[in-house]
Amino acid sequence: MARKRDFYDVLGVQNNVSEKELKRAYRKKAMQYHPDRYKGDKTQGEEKFKELNEAYSILSDFQQRQRCDRFGQAGNEGIGAAARGANPSDFFSSIFDNFDIGSIFGGGFGSTQRTRRQQQGPQRGENVVLDLSLSFEESYSGVSKKVKMPFYKPCPNCMGTGGEPDKGMKTCTTCRGSGIQEVQHRSGMFIQISREPCRKCEGRGQVPEVRCKTCRGAGHSGQREEIKVTIPKGIDSGEAVRVQGKGKPSNTGGMPGDLIFRINLKEHDTFERNGLDVYMRLPVDYPTLILGGTIQVPVIGSKGEDNTIALKIPGRSNISDVVKRNRTGFTRKIRGNEVSGDSYFVLSLRIPKKITKTQKELLKKLQLEFNHKK
């Protein structure tokens, strides 16, 4: 069985590519390999286009991309296969969402002659991404947080449509049901025409026959919901927590989108994190570096607990030597098993601000002895 190409290679991007650059790369490749435009063998063009859809469907989803980066392409095998089997025209339309695919490619390759905004029936609301900052301690132990939604709850009477439920909808006269309107922007002698979602129907293509009496056509209740989100322990910066059905309400009476919390860990005064491992620069006095000894050191833990352990410093240690303590880092569940990281202590010299006369004399003797041995 032939090995699959790396998803990043398929799209011609690096693994640190931004969401905007990823979408731009997909658009460029999609125009090149769409079977209605591909100059070479049509079967080959269709296969390349499906491969492109599979790669973009994985990398454009934050959680799937994280899973792919961590476990390779096998971690998203089922999802990627579904993308390959999807209607390429539908997938393409979801990226070029303000264009008529039939007008671009002349009606071939399953063209529907309508944009996504022209589809009939209730449409799902949009996903909403929010940034959520956590302390190291909150990440270590897991936490529940109350979050107030940045948008209003849908009207309970019309469920977001803005119209009376039993009165139905009618075609928008501004966009004639397309959901798109052309807007002219004048700049000196020039006029620029852009296609934008219709302002009257908000891109739905339809408006209510009779405005909702409860919300007066607004589609929302005027109240923001407060939800409780549970963050699992061990989560790291750049990861995300998805809450299904708590995203932006649909304005056509469909299901709400999802709410996605993008995690950001605040900087810690003592520790640095790398995966599940924790690093700390540990100042040690000179006698302990030379003779060795056991000292109490801090480790990451839950807030309010005594998070210290006894650490043995080997004799004749040097500055920047690293002492490791197993299973004292972050802990999280991976594939059903609890996995713990380690703590790494990078040794540095702790110099006292003041020394006694006796200590000074002893250091001078030690200095003379070292110089004599040289």
Q: What is the DSSP string of 7-74?
A: HHHHHT--TT--HHHHHHHHHHHHHHH-TTT-SS-HHHHHHHHHHHHHHHHHHTSHHHHHHHHHH-GG
**Residue 66 included in any domain:** yes
Per-residue model confidence as pLDDT tens digits over 225-272? 899 999 999 999 999 999 998 988 887 777 888 999 999 999 999 999
Q: Which of 182, 208, 234 is the last residue of a domain?
A: 208
What pLDDT, on the 0 to 100 scale, is given for residue 371? 81
How many structural domains does the chain have? Answer: 3
Residue 88 · residue 54 · CB < 8 Å: no
The answer to whether residues 194 and 279 belong to one domain is no
- Do both 73 and 3 map to the same domain? yes
Do both 109 and 173 map to the same domain? Answer: no
Closest alpha carbon to 109 in 43, 28, 23, 10: 43
Which long-range CB contacts under 8 A does 284-287 form with residues at least 24 apart? Answer: 284/313, 284/317, 284/347, 284/348, 284/349, 284/350, 285/349, 285/350, 285/352, 286/349, 286/350
**Residue 302 falls inside a structural domain:** yes
For the chain, the residue count is 374
- How far separated are the first and last CA of the chain, in Å rounded? 67
Q: What is the pLDDT of residues 304-356, one digit of tens each?
A: 888 999 999 999 999 999 999 999 999 999 888 999 999 999 999 999 889 99
> What is the domain-level CATH number for residue 44?
1.10.287.110
Residue 7 and residue 97 in one domain: yes
**105 and 174 housed in the same domain:** no
Final residue before a domain boundary, out of 190, 208, 226 = 208
**What pLDDT, in 10s, does the model give residues 53-65?**
888 888 888 777 8
Are 12 and 102 members of one domain? yes
Q: Are residues 6 and 104 in the same domain?
A: yes
Dihedral sign from CA coordinates of 350, 356, 360, 362:
negative
Q: How far is CA 135 from each of CA 62, 145, 279, rounded to the nearest angstrom? A: 22, 12, 16
281 plus 179 within the same structural domain: no
For residue 273, pLDDT beyond 50: yes
Residue identified by tokens 């005027």 is 222
Residue 69 lies in a domain: yes
Rounded Cα distance between 367 and 4, Å, is 64
- Asked whether residue 369 falls in the same domain as residue 277, the answer is yes
260 assigned to some structural domain: no
Residue 109 maps to a domain: yes
pLDDT of res. 108: 43
Sheet holding 240-243, edge to edge: 128-134, 259-265, 240-243
pLDDT tens column, 127-186:
999 999 999 999 999 999 999 988 888 888 888 888 998 888 899 999 988 888 888 877
Whether residue 128 contacts residue 249, with contact meaning beta carbons closer than 8 Å, is answered with: no
Structure tokens at 32: 């090149």
**Does residue 51 or residue 117 have the better pLDDT?**
51
**186 occurs within a structural domain:** yes
What CATH number has the domain bearing residue 363? 2.60.260.20
Are residues 201 and 282 part of one domain? no
Where in the sequence is the domain holding 66, given as residue range(s)?
1-113
Residues contacting residue 371 through CB under 8 Å, at least 6 positions apart: none
Within this chain, do residues 5 and 79 fall inside the same structural domain, yes or no? yes
Q: Give every CB contact of residue 334 below 8 A, 6+ residues apart in sequence.
A: none
Domain membership flag for residue 291: yes
Global pTM exceeds 0.85: no
**80 part of a folded domain:** yes
